[in-house]
Chains A and B, each alone.
Chain A
Amino acid sequence: MNCLEFRRLKLADPRHVDAAGQAHLEACASCREFALEMDGLEERLAAQLNVAVPEGLAERLILRRKTGTPFSAKFFAMAASVFVAVAVGLTSWKFLATPNYARFAIDHVMNEPESFTTVRDADPQLLHQVMQNFGGEMLAPIGTVRYIKLCPVPGGTGWHIVFDAGDGKLATLILIPARHGKTGSEYARLGNWNAVARPGGQGFYAVITSSPDSLAKTDALIRRQLRWRS
């Protein structure tokens, strides 16, 4: 088996390399590197495809066998969505009229608790690219990045970043694109959550932590390590 044949086999089925492929792998350093790279991609792909399954799915399927009645998840979800939309609409019309980014950032973090338990695209190089894209420059690392995701924010799509800000405490940085001329900083507190939003880059950046002390420390860290072009 030559390198071309091995790579074709590896691309077609990375998990099943036959004996001839294994023999080639042992003799060829370049194909070993390729195989490692493909195994890494395959792991990433498998993790991505492994989406969460709705709670109680198996029980609903078994119940349907017993009763013959299909369960409409869509109906209950739509009813819940309408209720939530009305409740949010009634309570936050003022907030929407004059967006408070610090308060938005806390709400967003509370709605995405998985950002603290999931490791996702934890790539420092990617953080550099995201910052550059948003109009920022990283003068020094801000800590170990654990989570980076594109998220819906007021006025478009922003970035949700979770990092280890030291002492094992996690902090969140949210980049929010905005075009209006607000220039002041905004603060918010809800339960244990504390946030500050400041103008920077292509809009605002918000820092969210779970205590006032760590907010002050993380805010200072961000201001020290990041420089905004605007």
Chain B
Amino acid sequence: MILNLRSRRFDQTVRAYSADLYRYAYWLTHDRFTAEELVQETFARAWKNWDSLKNASATKSWLISILRNERARLYERKQLALDDNDPEDLDIPAHGPGSQPGAHLELEQFVGTLPLSYREPLLLQVLGGYDCKEIAGLLGLTEGAVMTRLTRARQALRALLEPPDRLGATP
């Protein structure tokens, strides 16, 4: 009976969060197979440690933490490089789409080339719906650092997509 309830809750959690986790994993890895593998490993570990989840309202954050750890494990196991640059190294393009029509189109390339330290908070906010304080908690950063990274990521996005004449009054 208890086992049934436990299984049912887990299955409900899978149905509720697997799509969000897959999208998050996809944008972290840029590979749909690796993303699915990560989500599988995440839920397998979550099932093993299901009893350690005390606060049901924090389930999604808990799963994201597991997924981040699984990603680190996977990259270590396969000896893949974690594609992170220095957080201060984000180049903000100085031009709009006028000179590069392809750049205008390929927003996914912009997301893919963002350093992980910028991409992760952006994914957590846009896909996960978290605010800066919650993201800071998930990533082990200060709220100020998260705000700075999100601001710079969006400045870069804006510079990429908007014509230069609209970029005047940006902080």
Interface residues of A (CB under 8 A from B): 3-4, 7-8, 11-16, 30, 34, 37-38, 41-42, 44-46, 48-51, 53-54, 57-58, 60-62, 64-65, 70-71, 73-74, 77, 121, 123, 126, 129-130, 133, 148-150
Contact = CB atoms under 8 A, between A and B. Distances in A.
Given A8-B171, A57-B39, A16 B161 contact: no
Contacts of A7: 169-171
Given A12-B147, A41-B158, A73-B33, A53 B18 contact: yes
A41 B171 contact: no
Given A12-B132, A13-B132, A65-B43, A41 B111 contact: no
Nearest to A12: B147
A58 B14 contact: yes
Interface class of chain A by DSSP: helix
Given A15-B125, A121-B104, 17 more contacts: A8-B147, A11-B151, A12-B146, A12-B150, A45-B126, A46-B127, A49-B111, A53-B19, A54-B22, A62-B14, A65-B7, A65-B11, A65-B14, A73-B32, A77-B33, A130-B101, A148-B105
B33 A74 contact: yes
B151 A41 contact: no
Contacts of A123: 104
A41 B157 contact: yes
Interface of B: 7, 10-11, 14-15, 18-19, 22-23, 26-27, 32-33, 36-37, 39-40, 43-44, 47, 97-98, 101-102, 104-108, 111, 122-123, 125-127, 129, 131-132, 146-148, 150-151, 154-155, 157-158, 161-162, 166, 169-171
B19 A41 contact: no
Contact of A51 (B23, B126, B147, B162): B23
A11 B155 contact: yes
B154 A41 contact: yes
Contacts of B97: 126, 129
A49 B123 contact: yes
A192 to B, nearest CB: 29
Contact of A53 (B22, B147, B161, B166): B22
28 contacts: A3-B169, A7-B169, A8-B151, A11-B155, A12-B132, A12-B151, A15-B129, A38-B154, A41-B154, A44-B161, A46-B126, A49-B27, A49-B123, A49-B127, A51-B27, A53-B19, A57-B18, A57-B39, A61-B43, A62-B11, A64-B43, A65-B43, A74-B37, A121-B104, A129-B97, A129-B98, A133-B101, A150-B105
B26 A51 contact: yes
Nearest to B127: A49
A64 B125 CA distance: 30
- Rank and list the top 5 A-B pairs by shortest CB-CB distance, nearest first: A129-B101, A12-B147, A74-B33, A11-B151, A53-B19
A16 B125 CA distance: 11
B155 A34 contact: no
B3 to A, nearest CB: 12
B126 A49 contact: yes
Given A51-B26, A61-B14, A41 B101 contact: no
Nearest to B99: A129
B27 to A, nearest CB: 6
Contacts of B105: 121, 126, 148-150
A173 to B, nearest CB: 15
Nearest to B150: A12
A64 B23 CA distance: 20
